Structures are given as C-alpha cells and as structure tokens.
Amino acid sequence: MSVFDPEKAEILDSEDRKKIEPIDVLIRKVERIDRREVAVEVGAGTGYYTIPLSNIFRRVYAIDLSFKMAEKLGLKLSELKIRNVGIIETDRPPELDFPIDLILFANVLHEIEEPERYLEWAKKGDYTLIVDWKKVDMSFGPPYEERLSEDDILKILKKLGFEIEEVDSYSMPYHYLILAKRR
C-alpha cells in the first residue's frame, strides 16, 4: 500500500481535482443527514472536504497520519479563520468518546493497511460516507491493484452490520460514493 506523498499536496486542492471530484456531490449527500453536529474525516489531507464540512457541522475533526499534512491543514484553517476544526494526527483509529454524526473516508481506504478495522471503528458514528476511486485502469490516481472496488467495500460494510443507505457510481466520473448507517 502506498500512502499519499505530502510533497505533492498541491494536487489535493487543484482545479483538476475539482473537475474530476466535485465537492458539491458529496455535500448533497451530507445534507441528507438529519443531525449535523460533529463530523470526522479520516485522511483529511489539506482539507479538501474538511473545509466545506466545517460550514455544515458545528465541529469537525480532521484526522491524518502525516504531520506535514496536518501542518498544511492547520495553516490553511488559520488563514481562512476557521475555528471549528480540530486536527488529530494519528496512524490508528483515535479514541473518541463523544457522539459523531458523520465519519468520512475520502480516497483513503485503499491506503489503509486494515480498512476493515477502520470501518469497524466507524460504527462510532451514525453515518459513514465513503468516496473512493473506482477500480478501473486510469492514467492518474492510485495504482489499479491498490484500489478497493465498490463491491469490496459493500461486503465489508454488510459484514460489519451497516445498513447501506445509498451507492452512487454515477455522480462522479472516477469515484463512487457509499453512504451507510450504523444499525
């Protein structure tokens, strides 16, 4: 498994990314969730989704294993005067002991050694939203062999007892979205 290189962080906020992975698609899914007090993003990077989530949720926690990414996000949040985002730097599911309305995994499960462990942990949240690369050959994105298919993720979620609310393979050209609810 390869982990995203923080030296290439500018890609995460690029115009190209905005074209292939439009934020508004995800935001429309999130706005369907009744309670929007606390969101957690695993693999937050430079805040591509964290920052828009901070406009919808009272509190957002951005988790990343890279100190450099956490530092970049912290600087961006400071520049934008966003004060409702906490940054957690860790390489394992963090111990969180408060209610969580949404846990987001955006383009990160394919980078995690044990995605099932993280998805089990995600049962702390009422909803889990996954956005990841479709398992097809492309000239960009993670290597094909590292990608997790929609079916791979659905099998894990069902095994863990999640209720699948929505599977969307069409709103983004290169990504799928899965919204699941804790039972």
**Each residue's pLDDT tens digit, 51-60:** 999 999 999 9
- Over residues 121-127, mean pLDDT: 97
Q: Are 44 and 73 in contact (CB under 8 A)?
A: yes
Residues contacting 62, CB < 8 A, separation 6+:
41, 44, 47, 50, 70, 73, 85, 86, 87, 88
The candidate with the shortest Cα–Cα distance to 27, out of 104, 82, 79, 81, is 104
- Domains, the chain, ranges and CATH? 6-181 (3.40.50.150)
- What confidence category does residue 162 fall into, taking pLDDT thresholds of 50, 70 and 90? very high
Which parts of the chain are beta strand (E)? 38-42, 59-64, 85-89, 100-106, 125-133, 163-168, 175-181
pTM listed for this prediction: 0.92
Across the beta sheet with 125-133, the strand order is: 85-89, 59-64, 38-42, 100-106, 125-133, 175-181, 163-168
Q: Are 44 and 74 in contact (CB under 8 A)?
A: no
pLDDT for residue 63:
96
Give the C-alpha separation, 33 to 26, whole Å: 12
Does 64 or 5 have the greater pLDDT score? 64
